[in-house]
Amino acid sequence: MNPPQFRIGLGHDTHRLGAVGKPLLLGGVLVPHECGLIGHSDADPLLHAITDAILGSLSLGDIGDWFPNTDPRWKDGDSALFLRHAATELVNRGWEIVNLDSIVHAERPKLGPFKRQIEAHIATLLGLPADRVSVKAKSGEAVGPVGRGEAIQAEAVVLVSRRSIG
């Protein structure tokens, strides 16, 4: 059986809102809001979901395996480091990202005005053309932890391909 030329990865993450005085980061972009997200690192659910999707595409475990939240090195850590680390592991194994799609679930703040900026920022972090990255935003329809404004969640899926040789 020929080895596969394509693989996919899936990521999901949740962080609780309520970190007073902490900036709200989504996809590495500062989004003005009255509070930030609670977590050991900078608590960016979108970058965490994308990092997990990249790791998952090659069955490399998850973000907690690579960056344990018990490790003081990652306290208030920049999640862009996690993302870049996963992307470097992918490249080092001979793979590249074809495209990435994602959803951020947040009742507030409204993310529509920030989607394009977040897409562009993630593309830059990954060294991809902007049209390979998609960020969509959904409200929680006033139900569940997202709808009650208690949490922000993110999902990501990534398609990767073997890098062509020569």
* DSSP calls for 58-74: TT---HHHHS-TT-GGG
Q: What's the rounded Cα separation, in Å, for the pair 59 and 4?
A: 13
Nearer to Zn ion, 67 or 95 (CB): 67
Nearer to Zn ion, 48 or 121 (CB): 48
Nearer to Zn ion, 16 or 93 (CB): 16
User: To the nearest whole angstrom, how small is the minimum distance from the Cβ of residue 156 to Zn ion?
Assistant: 12
Q: What's the rounded Cα separation, in Å, for the pair 109 and 129?
A: 27
User: To the nearest whole angstrom, how small is the minimum distance from the Cβ of residue 39 to Zn ion?
Assistant: 6
Nearer to Zn ion, 95 or 125 (CB): 125
User: To the nearest whole angstrom, how small is the minimum distance from the Cβ of residue 29 to Zn ion?
Assistant: 16
Nearer to Zn ion, 41 or 57 (CB): 41
Only one residue has tokens 């996690």, namely: 82
Contacts to Zn ion by CB under 5 A:
13, 48
The residue nearest Zn ion at its CB is 48
Q: What's the rounded Cα separation, in Å, for the pair 53 and 28?
A: 16
Only one residue has tokens 């990652």, namely: 74
User: To the nearest whole angstrom, how small is the minimum distance from the Cβ of residue 67 to Zn ion?
Assistant: 10
User: To the nearest whole angstrom, how small is the minimum distance from the Cβ of residue 6 to Zn ion?
Assistant: 27
